[in-house]
Chains A and B, each alone.
Chain A
C-alpha cells in the first residue's frame, strides 16, 4: 500500500505512515464489524442450546440486533458515580478497548496480510494482553464501589495466573517453529503432520499443550466456565457494574475483540493459520483468508458452546487449576519438547525461511541504522 501513496508524490516516510494508518483503520473497522456479528452468533448459539429462539426481530434472522443494541447504548446517558475517580473511571474502558484492538496489529490474516510483520510478534501479543489487566483493575478501583473492586481483584489475579501458563505454551510453540514471527510460525506448520496435514495440533507432543492453551484462553478472556469476574449471583455485573452507555459498550467490545483474538491465536499457533488443513495442492486455490476466518470462527463456536454448557468454577478451583495443574504441566512439556527437539537435532538445521517481509518493516529497521551513524563520530 505504500507504493500507492507514494504515487501521489509523497516522500517514502509519509507514504508509509499514511499506508499504515489506513491499514489500522481498516483492521479496526473489520474487527468491530466481526465483533458485532460474533455477539449475535454467541446469543444464537446459547439460545439454541437452551431451546430458545434468540434474537430474531431486528433485520433478517435478527442479524442487525447487535447494531440496534450499539445504537441504543450510544444514545444513552453516560452516568458517572459522584464518588468515582472521574479521570480513571473514564480512562479504564478506553484502555480495555484500545488494548484489545492493538493486539491485532501482528495477526497475519493471509500470507503477508499483516500491519506490522515484526520479529517479536508473539512477544508483542503477550505484552499487549498483559496490559488488558489495567482496564479491569482501574475500572474496579475508580468505581469506588465494593462489587466492582472485588471483581477487579478476581480478574487481575485470574489473568496474571493464566498468563504464566500461556507463556510456557507459547515457548513450546516457538521452540518448534524456531521464530517469534507470527507468519514464520504459520509457515513452520506447513506439512507438519507427516507432510499431510498443516498445523501443530496434529503433533502428539503439542496436542496436550494446545488443550492447556485453549482452557487458559477461556480463563484469560474471563469466559465461562471461568467468568467469575462477572458472576452475577455474587458480584452484580462485575467490574462494569457502575458503567453505562458507551463506556459499558467499550468494555463489551473489548471483551469480544479479546475473545476473537484468542480464537485467532489458536488458529495461528496450532491450526496452521491461513494454510488449508490438508497440504494438498487444490486446497491452496481457496484464498488463505477463507481458511483463517473459518478456523477462527470454528473456535469461536467452541467458545460459545462451552459457555452454554459448562457450569461456572469456584474461585479456588480456578486458582488450583492454573497454578497446580497447568503450570507444572506446561513446565514439564517445555522440558520434554526441548529435550525431544535436541534429541532429533531440530536446532541444528537453519531457521525456517520467513515469508517475504513486507516493505513496511524496512523503514522500521532503517531507523537504528540512521541513529547509529549519528553516534559514531562522538
Chain B
C-alpha cells in the first residue's frame, strides 16, 4: 500500500526537480512558524506565529494586550504589523482585544516616517485599517481623517508608488537589509486588500520585487550594488534579512540559520518573513527558476532611481545604473557610482556562493558630508550627521563599510571592474578602504602588482594603482590606500573558467592595467581575460573595445531572465520553461 503512494510521489518529485519546481515551500513555512512561535522576543511576528500554531496562547494574548495599549510604541513599523497580525489572527482574538487594536489607531500617532520603506509600511497599515473599520468619522482616527479619507489617501499613495517603481525604478532598491520591510507590507496588502485591483497590484509588486532579487540572487546572497545596507549585512551577506527571504522562497541557502552564530541575523530571525508563511502568496515557479538556475553565466543590468532629492539637485530622481555578472560560483555587481542613496549605499562587491561567513570583497571611499544628507532630509545641515550617527551609528566613522561618495566611480564589464577615486583635498576621510575577509583561503601579494585571492574555486585578481597598507581586524583584513587620486582594477575568475589558481595568476600577470600619468589623466586601460579592452576615465567615458557605454540606453531590467523598458510599466520574465508578463498599466498577469 505504501509503495502505491510512494511511487507517484517520487515521480512527482522527479518531474518537479527537472522542471525547477520548489516542493519545499510549505514545509519551510511550517518550520518558520514553529521557530517564530517559540521566540521570546516580543513582536507582532512572534505573536502572530503563536496564535497561528496555537502555542502559548495566554502569553500571546498578553503580548497583544500590552502592545495594543502601550503608547510608547507607534509609527509605520507598528501600523502595518499591528493590522497585519490582527487580520491574520482575528478569529482567535477575544472581543476585548478587538477593541484595543481598534483603539490603537485612534490614540497614538502612526508616524509616517521619511523613507520609501516607511511610507510603504505606513500607507499599507492605514489602508487596511481604514478598510477594516469603514464609515467612522475623524474623531475615531489619530489623524482626524475619516475612514474613507484615510482609505483614499493610502490607496492613492500606494498606487503612485507602484507606478513610480514600475516605470523609473525603486528608490531603496535591492537592499538585503530593507527588502523585508517592503515585502512584508505587500504580503499583508495582498492577503487582505478587498479591492481586487489593489490585491492584484500587491501580488504583482511581490512578483516584481522577488524577481528583482532572484535575478541577482546566488545561494541566499543578494549580489551586486545595493541602495541601502547595514554594515553587518554587507560584510556578512548571509546574515542579511534577504538571506531569510531567499531561504523561504528560493530554498537557498539550504541550511536553517536561526541558531547559527556565524550568520545569526541582527534581528534574530528577520521575522517579517512570518507574514509570508502565514499568507497565501505563492512564488511563481518562473521566479524560483530565475533565482536558482545558474547553469549559464549572464549579464543583468537595471535602471533604478535615486531617492527624492530635495536640496542640492536639479532632478528629483536621477537614474541609478546597475550592472551584475552572475555565475554559478560568484556574482560581481556594481552601481555606477556617486551619491545614489545617502548614508548606507553599497556600491560594488564580489560575493561567493559559499557557506562560509564574510563571503564578499569590495572597496569604498568612506564619505561624510552634511550636504549629502541635506540632499535627502529636510532638517538643518549642521545636525544631520549627528542625527544619522544616532540612528545608524557609523556614519561619521572613517572605518565604515557603507558609503556613497561623489569621489567614487565604477566601470564593470562582465567579470572585471575598474574603480576610480578622485577624493578632494581637505576631505574629512581621505582614504580608500577594501574589505578582504579572513575566510579567504589565500591572499598573495604578487611582484607584478596584483593581489591574488582565492576562496574555494573562486579567484580574485586585485590591482591597486597606488600604495596601500593592511590593517588586521576581527573578521577581515582592511586594505587601505591614502592617495586622493586612486583606483583599483579587479577581475574575478573560477576553476570552471580559468583552470587552476596558478594558471589564473599567470594569465593575469601578463595583463597589468595601463595607467601612466594617472594623477593627471585619471585614466586606466585594462585587457580582460575575455579579451575586451576596457578604458575608463574619472568623469569621462567608459569604453569597451573603443565603444562608449551609454547608460541612457539601459533598460529598467535587461538580462536573460528579465526585460522592461524604462517608463513602460511592463515587466517580462523569461526562462526556458515560460514567460510571465506583469503589465502594471492594466494591471494584469500573463503567462505563456
Q: Do A and B bind each other?
A: no
- Which residues of B pack against A, CB within 8 Å? none
